[in-house]
Structures are given as C-alpha cells and as structure tokens.
Amino acid sequence: VSRPRRADLVLVGFGHVGRRFASLLGESRPALLAQYGLDCRIVGIATRRMGARFDTRGVEIAHDGPAAAHPAAGSAALQVITQLARSSDADLKIVVETTVLDIAAGQPAIDHVRAGFAAGCHVITANKGPVAFAYSSLNREAESAGVRFLFEGAVMDGVPIFNLVRDTLPLIEISGFRGVVNSTTNHMLTAMEAGETFGAALGRMQAEGIAEADASLDIDGWDAAAKTAALANVLLEAGISPPAVHRIGITESDAARARQARANGQRLKLVASAARDRSGKVSASAKPMALPATDLLAGLEGKANALILQTDLLGEIAICQLEGSLTQTAYALLSDLVTIAKQPARRGAPAR
C-alpha cells in the first residue's frame, strides 16, 4: 500500500453550503483515506465578511466561522488561493468555491475559478454561474493548467448529472434534454394547482425556508435558465449563457393555468429544456408548460427534480432527485473531490 496522498483545500465562501461541506468532509475522513488513499485538510478559508485565514497545518473550523478571522485587505479569496499555491506542498491543491452567486453575471464565482486555475489549483464549485456563463473558456483554461474543473452541484445538487454523462455513458450522443430543476417554482405550482394563490404559496415557501427572502430569481425563471445554460453548455456544447435561454417565469396568472391543466388531466411545470437541431444550433428554454399526466416530469411533487436526456443509443433516460437538502449540495462537492482523487489529470474521455 502506497502512502496516502495529501489534499489541501481552501474554502472560498463559508456559508451554509461551505460549512456543511466542511463537516461532511470531517465525517468522511476515514472513508476517503481507506477507499481512495486521500488525506484531506482544510488549510484556508476566505469569506467576504471575515476575510482570509490560512494555515498549512490546517485551520480550525469553529461552528459559526473561522476560529479567528483576520480581516484582509484586497480579496480574501485571491489571498488564500495564492497562499495555497505557494505554501502548500500537498499532492493535490483544491479550491472549493461556494460564494453567494450574482446570477446575472456568474460572479464572483467565475473570477475565483479562474484565479484557482491561474494558481495551478483544481477547482470544484457548487455554483452554476461559471458553467452557465463561461464553460468553454474555463474548460480550456483548466486543460491548459493541467487541473480539473468540476461542478456536479450546479444542477440537482449531488445527484450525478455531469458525472453520469462523463463516466457512465461512453460513446453516447446527447441531442437534447428536458427537466424540472427549480424546486421553489415546482412547490409553488403544486400549491397553486391545489387552490392556493401565488402570494400565499410564495409566502408559505419563504416561511418554510424553501424559497429565499428574495425569491425573484426563482420566480422569474433565472435560476432555471442558468441551470439550462449550464446543462446545454456541458451536454450539448452549446456555448450559450443564461440570457440566450428563452425564459418565462411564473406569475399570478399561472394559478388559474395550473388549475385548468389539472382539470384537463395535465400538470403545469416549469420545464428547462434544450435541443440541438439538424444544423447543430442549440435552442434552450425555461418556461411553464402543461404536460400530460403520463409524462415523467408531470409526477414530480415539491422538492423532486428530474432530468430526461435524449440519447442516440439509449433513447430517453432520466435521473431523479426525490429529496433535496444542504447535505446533498455538500455531497456534490465531496463527489467532485473524489473525482479529482481518482483522476487528477483528465484523460480518455472526450471533452464534453
């Protein structure tokens, strides 16, 4: 048995997802060592509010933040990334990106990902912004730097989408997809078809912590559009960004549409979809659609998400997430970490 490989991680962003990832990583230490020969340490944390903290011996993770935060001049993120690159002698240097996303521009996540590559570090992120706005250029930069760029958590949390296609569907050509990938709107449409008003449904989602206080990104369809762009970029090489997705959110008038659909034996769902036409052009949309009851997507209730892939050799196949929680998002990052442990340099499979 060879000696364990050491992985040094810096966490850029330390909110709910980053904290749950840190605790899940702690719980998974014995299994990571036993199964993958990987010895992981968190050596740095950067947050907007508390600045940067870095220690090659590992930072102490207090329950509600870095144990002793050192407010830093300049960008805390760039600081810990640079320190990881310069001060760590680990076999694997990994930036874990979980900052709050500006969905209109994909920032600051894109800058953090790019800084990671420039410093020669692998980058894993739970943010959809980098993949939705800049997949092809980031992918090229990662390849040039000889590092991995992984983002399983960008869509449907830790349920494998990108890993499914990359690792288990060799030689398959994907021509399109359709899915339900936004939980807030799915919850609301389910409530509205049962008779609740738009306002009441939204208020209840916010009270239950399902929707954000500012739920406009969900309701206006931006979250679904960003996920659609991310999926289209990776699975269909679309090279688009979210504004190119034909986007229709849900409004008060959808309460009546949802009830009418139900009365007709249909279900109203916010469907994210994209397809490549014969000329190779990809068109993408995220909009409410009345689906026949027999459609797999029609049956998804509440937090359930699903993605149907249209393939050449397997016809239509689907993967579904029946529950969602913070642990699932944190697991996405953990699975990306294992992907790097198994294959620090990409090989074999083609660029998707």
How far apart are CB 198 and its own copies at their closest, in Å? 23
- What distances in angstroms separate CA 52 from CA 21, 138, 331, one per listed residue? 18, 25, 24
* Per CB under 8 A, 126 contacts its own copies: no
Residue in 73, 263, 313, 345 binding its own copies, rule: CB under 8 A: 313
* Interatomic CA distance for residues 253 and 62, integer angstroms: 47
Q: What is the DSSP letter of 290?
A: E
- Per the DSSP assignment, residues forming a β-bridge with 306 are 180, 320
Residue in 146, 170, 195, 199 binding its own copies, rule: CB under 8 A: 170
* Interatomic CA distance for residues 126 and 343, integer angstroms: 19
At 168 the three-state DSSP class reads helix
* Interatomic CA distance for residues 166 and 174, integer angstroms: 11
* Interatomic CA distance for residues 202 and 219, integer angstroms: 9
The residue range among 9-17, 55-63, 239-247, 337-345 that interacts with its own copies, by the rule CB under 8 A, is 337-345
- What distances in angstroms separate CA 228 from CA 174, 281, 302, one per listed residue? 14, 15, 19
Residue in 10, 11, 32, 119 binding its own copies, rule: CB under 8 A: 32
Q: Name the residue nearer to its own copies (CB basis): 36 or 149.
A: 36
* Interatomic CA distance for residues 134 and 146, integer angstroms: 18
Residue in 56, 338, 344, 352 binding its own copies, rule: CB under 8 A: 338
* Per CB under 8 A, 315 contacts its own copies: yes
How far apart are CB 280 and its own copies at their closest, in Å? 18
Q: Name the residue nearer to its own copies (CB basis): 127 or 190.
A: 190
Residue in 7, 11, 19, 36 binding its own copies, rule: CB under 8 A: 36
Can you give the binding site for its own copies, defined by CB under 8 A?
Answer: 24, 28, 31-32, 34-36, 157-160, 163-164, 167-172, 293-294, 296, 298-299, 301, 304, 306, 308, 313-325, 327-328, 331, 334-335, 338, 341-342, 348-350
